[in-house]
């Protein structure tokens, strides 16, 4: 597979006279792909039924004739004003029950049947018109499902759909639901599915079983919404279909959406994410303000490689300052190139810069592009052209299995959000902290979906924090030819969010029981014997497995038997580093401590070194300048 570049372009924003010159400049810059169309509904259908597809056809022709391949987006993330007039109840409702209004984007509820039908209609019309267009080489459904907190909606349509969903889950037996959820508690029993409300606006917290069920339902609605478009496009086109996911958006199961698509893509804004999404850490944010977090992009590259079943792109790459984070610095010179190469190192087929030209109008007028608003080159252009020249000579991409597998389970993320048990405790945070620790030891990681049962080829597996684990997953992990690290909170709840007996984690072949658990204030960290601390969360472990890490007071924190290892606490950096080194040694995996800010990613044929720090760093392979990238052929 060749490595390629592209950009995101909005022909409807610019006079038609400049399309050809734009296209020629894209080609001259070494770009292959151009994504268009995803917000253009009001110009494709200015009034209901009045279709104006000619301009889009001309734009595709201009871009395609210049030699570019088009990714065509369905415009369903931006329903026009008339749509809301036609379906006033299509808007999503927030947790306070208020409709989320027109005037930006994503103003729809996934459960509104009328809007879903409108989406099918416009998708069908576009697919019929452009499905066999030779320049349309890929598709994108909608834009960033879940962006702006839009997966969950408390609208009347969502309530009706949730009741139907529950009825199917419980075989129309309302007493089965009452029993499974424990509705005897606080007299919450229902007589009929039609009585089940959404879990918002309750006086105090709703039943966690109810909340978790609603989150599963909300995810299923996204999957169904996407599938409806995919089925229509497929009937008219052989080109691959993609969707552009985001950083740290976990409200729907991306693996299930990905099952219906050929390619996963994601939108990578390293500087915006550092300020907005990585988690608040002033020292880290200051040190990496112009570079981005050294692990956040890589984590999502690995995640979406799994979601795309091997095929994935960066659909939107930050090219300069963005407009939407609390602070929006410019990247350190060289970072646009580094981010691009890092994506390729993790197996991306394409990296597309968002956006081609900075818009002088509307919400994103302070968002950089490859061109300035006056069409002069912006700094990203130079770096993109450098990457274009470099990938020409680079070898083709070779898929490879990493030595370490890390399970990632969206359902577990919802479970932790439903019941964090302590402020700041999140599943994503736990998994990401472990991922960071693995990368600090120079390890390349494959992220695995929770349905994985064949673990062959991995020497070391991590399955942290999966609050519900099916018996067959437990069996498959116990039988894997690998060391497996579980906990904290593994297997802590059954399918319906109740505490199972025998008590968790109930792992075959590992005599460990969580007898009690506590969450800790930030100023209550508990020191570990031999270095590191437990922060935030700790379990009291019973059982006869061997204790391999403990608190200074002698309480077991990590226990193991054979290849099964259980960690009953949320550890700090030093603690997770020790855990990773211990497990790697047991599993025969070689670790290499990375210098601060330097990361390594290995494929079958290449090793890539990246310097995320803003100063030169000495490594095993030589000195890396700030924002430096070093590619070694192995």
Identified binder of ligand GAL from the candidate list 260, 267, 446, 606, rule CB under 6 A: 267
Nearer to ligand GAL, 27 or 147 (CB): 147
Could you tell me whether strands 460-463 and 404-407 are parallel, antiparallel, or unpaired per DSSP bridges? parallel
Q: According to the binding rule CB under 6 A, does residue 413 interact with ligand GAL? A: no
138: which 2 tokens?
């890929």
Question: Annotated catalytic residue: which of 45, 144, 342, 349?
Answer: 144
Taking the complex as a whole, the smallest distance from the CB of residue 590 to ligand GAL amounts, in Å, to: 38
**Quick check: helix, strand or coil at residue 85?**
helix
Backbone angles phi, psi at 474, to 5 degrees: -60, -45
Q: How far apart are the first and last CA of the chain?
A: 19
25: which 2 tokens?
């400049």
Residues 322-361 that bind ligand GAL (CB under 6 A): 322, 354
x/- mask, ligand GAL, residues 268-287, rule CB under 6 A, reads: -x------------------
301: left (phi > 0), else alpha (psi -120 to 50), else beta? alpha
**H-helix segments, 470-572:** 471-479
Question: Residue 415: in which H helix or E strand, if any?
Answer: helix 410-418
Nearer to ligand GAL, 118 or 316 (CB): 316
**H-helix segments, 113-206:** 113-130, 156-169, 174-181
CA distances from 378 to 29, 57, 355, 358 (A): 12, 29, 11, 9
CB atoms closer than 10 angstroms to residue 375: 15
Taking the complex as a whole, the smallest distance from the CB of residue 504 to ligand GAL amounts, in Å, to: 38
Closest CA to 43 of 80, 17, 93: 80
Q: With contacts defined by CB under 6 A, name the span among 26-34, 140-148, 406-414, 472-480 that binds ligand GAL.
A: 140-148
Binding-residue total with ligand GAL (CB under 6 A) = 10
Nearer to ligand GAL, 257 or 512 (CB): 257
- The CA distance from 371 to 375, in Å, is 5
- 540 is known as an active-site residue: no
Q: With contacts defined by CB under 6 A, name the span among 141-149, 205-213, 344-352, 561-569 that binds ligand GAL.
A: 141-149
Taking the complex as a whole, the smallest distance from the CB of residue 35 to ligand GAL amounts, in Å, to: 10
Closest CA to 224 of 306, 142, 302: 142
Nearer to ligand GAL, 9 or 608 (CB): 9
Taking the complex as a whole, the smallest distance from the CB of residue 106 to ligand GAL amounts, in Å, to: 10
361: which 2 tokens?
């109008």
Question: Annotated catalytic residue: which of 38, 118, 275, 316?
Answer: 316
Residues 41-80 that bind ligand GAL (CB under 6 A): none
Question: Residue 578: in which H helix or E strand, if any?
Answer: helix 573-587
Taking the complex as a whole, the smallest distance from the CB of residue 356 to ligand GAL amounts, in Å, to: 12
Beta bridge partners of 633: 606
Backbone angles phi, psi at 549, to 5 degrees: -140, 140
203: left (phi > 0), else alpha (psi -120 to 50), else beta? alpha
Q: According to the binding rule CB under 6 A, does residue 144 interact with ligand GAL? A: yes
Taking the complex as a whole, the smallest distance from the CB of residue 306 to ligand GAL amounts, in Å, to: 21
Taking the complex as a whole, the smallest distance from the CB of residue 501 to ligand GAL amounts, in Å, to: 45
- The CA distance from 613 to 287, in Å, is 8
Residues 350-409 that bind ligand GAL (CB under 6 A): 354, 364, 367
Taking the complex as a whole, the smallest distance from the CB of residue 74 to ligand GAL amounts, in Å, to: 14
Taking the complex as a whole, the smallest distance from the CB of residue 437 to ligand GAL amounts, in Å, to: 29
Question: Residue 478: in which H helix or E strand, if any?
Answer: helix 471-479
Q: With contacts defined by CB under 6 A, name the span among 24-32, 44-52, 142-150, 218-226 that binds ligand GAL.
A: 142-150
Nearer to ligand GAL, 197 or 364 (CB): 364
Nearer to ligand GAL, 257 or 434 (CB): 257
Q: According to the binding rule CB under 6 A, does residue 486 interact with ligand GAL? A: no
- The CA distance from 521 to 28, in Å, is 56
Could you tell me whether strands 33-36 and 69-73 are parallel, antiparallel, or unpaired per DSSP bridges? parallel
Taking the complex as a whole, the smallest distance from the CB of residue 267 to ligand GAL amounts, in Å, to: 5
Nearer to ligand GAL, 139 or 566 (CB): 139
- 316 is known as an active-site residue: yes
Q: With contacts defined by CB under 6 A, name the span among 143-151, 209-217, 495-503, 587-595 that binds ligand GAL.
A: 143-151
* Cβ density class 242-264: b for 16+ within 10 Å, e for less: bbbbbbbbbbbbbbbbbebbbbb
Nearer to ligand GAL, 218 or 265 (CB): 265
Q: According to the binding rule CB under 6 A, does residue 147 interact with ligand GAL? A: yes
Taking the complex as a whole, the smallest distance from the CB of residue 39 to ligand GAL amounts, in Å, to: 7
Identified binder of ligand GAL from the candidate list 143, 242, 340, 535, rule CB under 6 A: 143
Q: According to the binding rule CB under 6 A, does residue 295 interact with ligand GAL? A: no
- The CA distance from 23 to 31, in Å, is 10
DSSP, residue by residue, 329-349: PPPPTTHHHHHHHHHHHTT-S
Nearer to ligand GAL, 130 or 269 (CB): 269
How many helices and strands, by DSSP H and E, does the chain display?
Answer: 18, 24
Whether residue 355 is preceded by a cis peptide bond, meaning omega within 30 degrees of 0, is yes
Nearer to ligand GAL, 102 or 190 (CB): 102
Taking the complex as a whole, the smallest distance from the CB of residue 230 to ligand GAL amounts, in Å, to: 19
- The CA distance from 436 to 573, in Å, is 9
Identified binder of ligand GAL from the candidate list 316, 342, 446, 560, rule CB under 6 A: 316
Nearer to ligand GAL, 251 or 316 (CB): 316
- The CA distance from 301 to 299, in Å, is 5
- The CA distance from 581 to 287, in Å, is 26
CA torsion through residues 366, 368, 372, 378, sign = positive
Nearer to ligand GAL, 105 or 216 (CB): 105
Could you tell me whether strands 483-486 and 546-550 are parallel, antiparallel, or unpaired per DSSP bridges? unpaired
Residues that are catalytic: 144, 316
Q: Which residues bind ligand GAL (CB under 6 A)?
A: 143-144, 147, 267, 269, 316, 322, 354, 364, 367
């Amino acid at each position: 597979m060749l490595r390629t570049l592209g950009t995101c372009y909005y022909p409807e924003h610019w006079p038609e006279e400049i399309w050809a010159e734009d296209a020629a400049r894209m080609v001259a810059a070494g770009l292959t792909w151009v994504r268009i169309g995803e917000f253009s509904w009001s110009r494709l259908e200015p009034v209901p039924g009045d279709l104006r597809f000619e301009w889009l056809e001309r734009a595709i022709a201009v871009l395609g004739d210049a030699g570019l391949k088009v990714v065509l987006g369905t415009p369903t993330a931006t329903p026009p004003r008339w749509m809301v007039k036609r379906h006033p109840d299509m808007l999503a409702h927030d947790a306070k029950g208020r409709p989320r209004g027109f005037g930006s984007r994503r103003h729809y509820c996934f459960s509104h049947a009328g809007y879903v039908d409108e989406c099918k209609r416009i998708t069908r019309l576009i697919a019929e018109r452009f499905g066999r267009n030779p320049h349309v080489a890929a598709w994108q459904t909608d834009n960033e499902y879940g962006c702006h907190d839009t997966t969950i909606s408390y609208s009347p349509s969502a309530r009706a759909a949730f009741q139907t969903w529950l009825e199917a889950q419980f075989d129309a037996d309302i007493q089965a639901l009452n029993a499974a959820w424990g509705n005897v508690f606080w007299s919450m029993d229902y007589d009929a599915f039609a009585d089940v409300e959404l879990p918002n606006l309750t006086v105090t917290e709703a039943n966690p079983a109810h909340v978790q069920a609603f989150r599963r339902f909300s995810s299923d609605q996204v999957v169904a919404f996407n599938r409806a478009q995919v089925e229509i496009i497929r009937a008219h086109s052989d080109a691959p279909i993609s969707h552009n996911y985001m950083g740290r958006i976990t409200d729907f199961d991306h693996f299930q959406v990905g099952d219906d698509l050929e390619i996963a893509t994601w939108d990578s804004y390293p500087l915006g994410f550092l300020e907005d999404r990585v988690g608040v850490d002033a020292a880290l944010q200051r040190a990496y303000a112009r570079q981005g977090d050294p692990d956040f992009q890589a984590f999502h590259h690995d995640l979406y490689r799994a979601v795309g079943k091997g095929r994935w792109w960066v659909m939107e790459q930050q090219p300069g300052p963005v407009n939407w984070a609390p602070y929006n610095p410019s990247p350190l010179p060289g970072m646009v190139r580094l981010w691009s190469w890092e994506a390729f190192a993790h197996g991306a087929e394409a990296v597309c810069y968002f956006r081609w030209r900075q818009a002088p109008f509307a919400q994103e007028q302070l968002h950089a592009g490859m061109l300035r608003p006056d069409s002069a080159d912006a700094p990203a252009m130079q770096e993109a052209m450098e990457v274009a020249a470099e990938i020409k000579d680079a070898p083709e991409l070779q898929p490879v299995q990493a030595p370490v597998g890390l399970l990632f389970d969206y359902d577990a993320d919802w479970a932790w959000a439903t019941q964090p048990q302590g402020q700041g405790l999140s599943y994503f945070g736990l998994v990401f902290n472990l991922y960071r620790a693995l990368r600090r030891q120079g390890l390349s990681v494959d992220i695995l979906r929770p349905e994985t049962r064949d673990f062959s080829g991995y020497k070391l597996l991590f399955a942290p924090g999966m609050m519900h684990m099916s018996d067959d997953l437990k069996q498959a992990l116990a039988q894997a030819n690998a060391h497996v690290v579980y906990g904290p909170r593994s297997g802590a709840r059954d399918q319906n969010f109740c505490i199972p007996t025998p008590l968790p984690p109930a792992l075959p072949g590992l005599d460990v029981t969580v007898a009690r658990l506590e969450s800790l204030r930030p100023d209550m960290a508990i020191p570990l014997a031999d270095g590191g601390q437990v922060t935030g969360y700790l379990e009291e472990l019973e059982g006869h497995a061997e204790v391999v890490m403990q608190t200074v007071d002698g309480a077991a924190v990590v226990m193991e038997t054979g290849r099964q290892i259980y960690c009953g606490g949320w550890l700090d950096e030093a603690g997770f580093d020790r855990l990773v080194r211990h497990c790697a040694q047991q599993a025969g995996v070689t670790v290499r401590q990375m210098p601060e800010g330097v990361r390594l990613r290995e494929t079958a044929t290449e090793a890539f070194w990246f310097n995320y720090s803003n100063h030169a760093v000495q490594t095993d392979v030589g000195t890396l300048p700030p924002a430096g990238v070093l590619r070694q052929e192995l």
